[in-house]
């Protein structure tokens, strides 16, 4: 994000830079809060009181946001929130509980990305040029891109991401893939994050989903 802002800084005034940063900050808060709250809500519905007891069953961003994770979002475009702790032994149905808790954050981010893409698409047709409109467009664009990026990233079947936990919920404890990922997942994740090819792949996937969403919203005009 910081590189994007530096590239635009010569074209923006002070108020536009502030609006740009605020739009990014709020969109990250919304995406991360919704993601973690979904985990907490589903875990609670499945019978585990742990998230509620730890104060995570809330839409208050301060209960979910990690200060260092947020800083990383601004510096390198990748960050994290505080993970929701659950006790699967409390679930009414162990495997179903694990599966739904794992996938809930991803589903929430996809739904939000879809809705914000529609809001951004229709905002393009507003004949307005002021600071609030500048803020609104970047806010909606960031809300779409961050939510869909979180969803895609967490779909990766790599420990400790949600995609891995979803697959793990259907596997035995001795499953070789699960054991391998639990041992080497963090290293694999680090390698993926620093590989330029992944960034290229990632951008194409996000752009492709954006085109699909915009094509859908275009049916209403």
What does the pLDDT look like over 78-113, one tens digit per residue? 788 999 999 999 999 999 999 999 999 999 999 999
Q: What is the pLDDT of residues 172-209, one digit of tens each?
A: 888 999 999 999 999 998 888 887 767 777 788 888 99
The DSSP result for 31-61, as a single string, is: HHHHHHHHHHHHHHHTT--HHHHTT-SS--G
> What is d(CA 97, CA 44) in angstroms, rounded to the nearest whole number?
10
Catalytic residue among 11, 36, 85, 174: 36
Of the candidates 88, 73, 74, the one whose C-alpha atom is nearest the C-alpha of residue 2 is 74
pLDDT of residue 214: 93
How many domains are there within the chain? 1
pLDDT of residue 107: 97
Q: What is the pLDDT of residues 113-160, one digit of tens each?
A: 999 999 999 999 988 888 999 999 999 999 999 999 999 999 999 999
Q: How far apart are the first and last CA of the chain?
A: 32
pLDDT of residue 100: 97
pLDDT of residue 2: 59
Q: Which domain holds residue 171?
A: 2-218
Of the candidates 135, 69, 59, 56, the one whose C-alpha atom is nearest the C-alpha of residue 101 is 56
Told to judge if 36 belongs to the known catalytic residues of this protein, a careful annotator would answer: yes
Q: What is the pLDDT of residues 23-70, one digit of tens each?
A: 999 999 999 999 999 999 999 999 999 999 999 999 999 999 988 888
pLDDT of residue 174: 86
CA 87 to chain centre: 23
**The pTM is what?**
0.92
pLDDT of residue 106: 97
| Token pair of 135 as six digits | 């803020």
pLDDT of residue 172: 85
| Token pair of 104 as six digits | 């809930």
pLDDT of residue 9: 63
């Amino acid at each position: 994000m910081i590189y994007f802002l530096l590239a635009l800084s010569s074209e923006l005034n002070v108020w536009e830079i502030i609006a740009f940063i605020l739009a990014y900050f709020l969109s990250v808060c919304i995406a991360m809060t919704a993601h973690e709250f979904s985990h907490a809500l589903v875990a609670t519905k499945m019978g585990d009181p742990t998230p509620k007891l730890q104060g995570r069953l809330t839409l208050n961003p301060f209960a979910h946001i990690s200060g260092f994770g947020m800083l990383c979002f601004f510096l390198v475009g990748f960050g994290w929130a505080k993970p929701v702790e659950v006790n699967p032994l409390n679930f009414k149905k162990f495997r179903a509980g694990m599966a739904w808790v794992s996938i809930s954050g991803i589903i929430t981010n996809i739904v939000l990305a879809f809705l914000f893409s529609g809001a951004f698409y229709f905002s393009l047709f507003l004949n307005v040029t002021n600071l609030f409109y500048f803020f609104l467009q970047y806010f909606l664009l960031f809300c779409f891109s961050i939510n869909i990026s979180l969803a895609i990233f967490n779909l990766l079947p790599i420990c400790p991401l949600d995609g891995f936990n979803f697959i793990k919920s259907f596997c035995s404890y001795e499953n070789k893939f699960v054991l391998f990922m639990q041992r080497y997942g963090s290293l694999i994740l680090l390698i993926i994050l620093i590989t330029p090819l992944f960034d290229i792949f990632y951008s194409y996937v996000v752009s492709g989903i954006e085109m699909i969403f915009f094509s859908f919203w275009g049916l209403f005009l």
